[in-house]
Structure 1
Amino acid sequence: MAKVRFLMIGVGGMGREHIRRLLNVPEAEIVALSDPSDKAINLVKETYPELANIAVYADYQEAISQSGADAAVIVSPHSMHFEQGMACLDGGLHVLMEKPFVSGSDHAEQIIAHAKKQNRHLAVAYQRHLMGPYMYIRDLIEKGELGKINYICAYQAQRWLIGATGSWRQNLALSCGGQLNDSGSHLLDVVLWVTGLEPESVSAVIENHGREVDIDSAVTVRFKGGAIATFNVVGSASISWHEDVSIHGDKGSVLFRNNKILVAREGEKSLTEVSVEELPASSDPDIDFVDLVLGRVSEAAAPSSSGLRIARLTEAAWESAANGSKVISLSE
């Protein structure tokens, strides 16, 4: 296979971002667009004139059977991911799924098993697995420079309550959850990924602010081995975006402050900022997925198992909050 031919399912804002990335990958070719919105399709063609004559399908099932694609990128509302992903796998396509993967852990387990049965690749577009700052932090921890991880504090604030008002993201039937399941999904994922820790139990307090989905979440996680983490996902903030992650081990600490990394290694009582030059080169999920399909890498940077573990953690947080912050066990 000289090129990977892509079908794009869902071409709204994030769909156009995937298109932009793929158009810069020599080994990728976009052969079809599928979206029921004429406005979204027309905006893609206006933005990318090289796709002016591309095949367009309102029905994704027709697109799967008629487009001649090798792979699909699914960027539709969350509740549609499972059905569309299963159909793509049935049609012989490899699938790159936007976060937060599919609607719940049961569906995640089913689609992972189906991808294995169909012998097709299935990955999640958690882009932080390919971003220099997070790769640096993961490498720091894997090398043991922080020692045994004891405590993690992860904080994310976004003007999501107001910014997503009226959109499908605050429609439970389409989004399958609120801010914790949306931007918060990235925060949960990156902490689990960089630390390699496995959640053991969860408790949570959640505020919906009158909406049908979660807006603000305070989630406490106990990991196997004893580490504790607090996840503070604030969707009611007045600011557009801010994120902090602090990781403390028995030998050192690393603090992430809106793309700035500060480190204190063993014996150091103060933090030192890490220069940009020290960070690994960044990539993105689309480049990584092309490499995966072409056999250049053996596993996706964010494999489908990433989506499953975040689904389990998120569901446990929702269950805890619905039951008065009851501690929910995640042990097998």
Structure 2
Amino acid sequence: MGKVRFLMIGVGGMGREHIRRLLNVPEAEIVALSDPSEAAITLVKQNFPQLANIAVYTDYQEAIAQSGADAAVIVSPHSMHFEQGMACLDGGLHVLMEKPFVSGSDNAAQIIAHAEKVNKHLAVAYQRHLMGPYMYIRDLIENGELGNINYICAYQAQSWLKGATGTWRQNLALSCGGQLNDSGSHLLDIVLWVTGLEPESVSAMIENHGREVDIDSAVTVRFHGGAIGTFNVVGSASIGWHEDVSIHGDKGSVLYRNNKILVAREGEKSLTEVSEADLPSSSDPDIDFVNLVLGRVSEAAAPSSTGLRIARLTEAAWESAANGSKLISLA
């Protein structure tokens, strides 16, 4: 296979970002767009003149059958991911799924098993697995420079309550959950990925602020091995975006502060900022997925198992909050 031919399912804002990336990959070719929104299709053709004559489908099932694609990128509302992903796999397509993967852990386990059965690649577009700052932190921990991880504090603030008002993201039937399941999904994922820790039990408090989905979440996790951590996902903030992650081990600490990294290694009492020149080179999930389909890498940077892991943790947090912060076991 010289090129990977892509069908784009969902071409809204994030869909257009995937298109932009794929158009910069020589081994990728976008052969069809599928979206019921005429306005979304029009924006794609305005922004990317090279796609002016591309095949367009309002029905994704017709697109799977007729487009001649090798792979699909699914960027539709969350509730549609499972059905569309299963249809793509049944149609012989590899699938790159936008976060937070599919609706619920049961569906996640089912689609993962189905991808294995039909021998197709299935990956999640958690882009942080391919970004220099997070790869640096993961390497730091994997190399043992922080020792055993004892405590994690992860914090994310975004004006999501106002910014997503009136969109499908605050419609439970379409989004399958609120900020914890949306931007917060990235925070949960990156902590689990860089530390390699697995949650053992979860307790949470959640505030919906009158909406039908979660807006603010305070989640406490006990990990296997004894580490504890807190995830603070604030969707009601007035600021556009801020994120901090602090990881403390028995030998050292690393602090992520909105793309700045500070490290104290064993014996150091103060933190030192890491130079950008010392960070690994970044890539993105679209390049990674093309390399996966072409056999250049053996596993996606964010394999489908990451989606299942985050679904289980998110569901446990929702269950705990719904039951008065009851401790929920994930063992």
TM range (shorter): over 0.9
Match for 1:78: what amino acid? H
Inter-partner Cα distance in structure 2 for 1:198 and 1:256: 20
Inter-partner Cα distance in structure 1 for 2:104 and 2:139: 30
**What is the TM-score when the length of structure 1 is the normalising length?**
1.00
Measured after TM superposition, the shift of residue 106 of structure 1 is 0.2
SS in 1 for 2:269: coil
Measured after TM superposition, the shift of residue 12 of structure 1 is 0.1
Deviations 1:200-253 (A, max 9, x none): 000000000000000000000000000001000000000000000000000000
Aligned to 1:241: 241
Measured after TM superposition, the shift of residue 192 of structure 1 is 0.0
Deviations 1:108-138 (A, max 9, x none): 0000000000000000000000000000000
Provide structure 1 residue ranges, at least 5 long, that are not aligned to the other structure.
none
Aligned to 2:49: 49
Aligned to 2:102: 102
Aligned to 1:183: 183
**Is 1:308 aligned with 2:305?**
no
**What is the TM-score when the length of structure 2 is the normalising length?**
1.00
Measured after TM superposition, the shift of residue 309 of structure 1 is 0.2
Match for 1:303: what amino acid? P
**Is 1:11 aligned with 2:11?**
yes
Inter-partner Cα distance in structure 2 for 1:296 and 1:229: 36
**Matches of residues 129-144 of structure 1 in structure 2 within 5 Å?**
129-144=129-144
Inter-partner Cα distance in structure 2 for 1:118 and 1:208: 40
Match for 2:283: what amino acid? S
Match for 2:168: what amino acid? W
Match for 2:38: what amino acid? D
Measured after TM superposition, the shift of residue 90 of structure 1 is 0.2
Match for 2:133: what amino acid? P
Inter-partner Cα distance in structure 1 for 2:320 and 2:52: 49
Inter-partner Cα distance in structure 2 for 1:229 and 1:30: 42
Inter-partner Cα distance in structure 2 for 1:304 and 1:86: 13
Measured after TM superposition, the shift of residue 283 of structure 1 is 0.1
SS in 1 for 2:102: coil
**Is 1:150 aligned with 2:150?**
yes
Match for 1:251: what amino acid? K
- The runs of at least 4 consecutive aligned structure 1 residues that moved more than 3 Å come to none
Measured after TM superposition, the shift of residue 81 of structure 1 is 0.1
Inter-partner Cα distance in structure 2 for 1:9 and 1:205: 35
Inter-partner Cα distance in structure 1 for 2:307 and 2:186: 10
Measured after TM superposition, the shift of residue 324 of structure 1 is 0.2
Measured after TM superposition, the shift of residue 64 of structure 1 is 0.0
Inter-partner Cα distance in structure 2 for 1:227 and 1:171: 35
Inter-partner Cα distance in structure 2 for 1:205 and 1:112: 30
**Matches of residues 206-221 of structure 1 in structure 2 within 5 Å?**
206-221=206-221
SS in 2 for 1:6: strand
Aligned to 1:256: 256
* Aligned length in residues: 331
Percentage identity across paired residues of the two chains: 90
**Is 1:268 aligned with 2:268?**
yes
Aligned to 2:225: 225
Inter-partner Cα distance in structure 1 for 2:229 and 2:63: 43
Measured after TM superposition, the shift of residue 174 of structure 1 is 0.1
* Aligned Cα root-mean-square deviation (Å): 0.1
Inter-partner Cα distance in structure 2 for 1:224 and 1:94: 33
Measured after TM superposition, the shift of residue 79 of structure 1 is 0.1
Measured after TM superposition, the shift of residue 187 of structure 1 is 0.0
SS in 2 for 1:239: coil
Inter-partner Cα distance in structure 2 for 1:257 and 1:199: 24
Match for 1:237: what amino acid? A
Inter-partner Cα distance in structure 2 for 1:165 and 1:252: 42
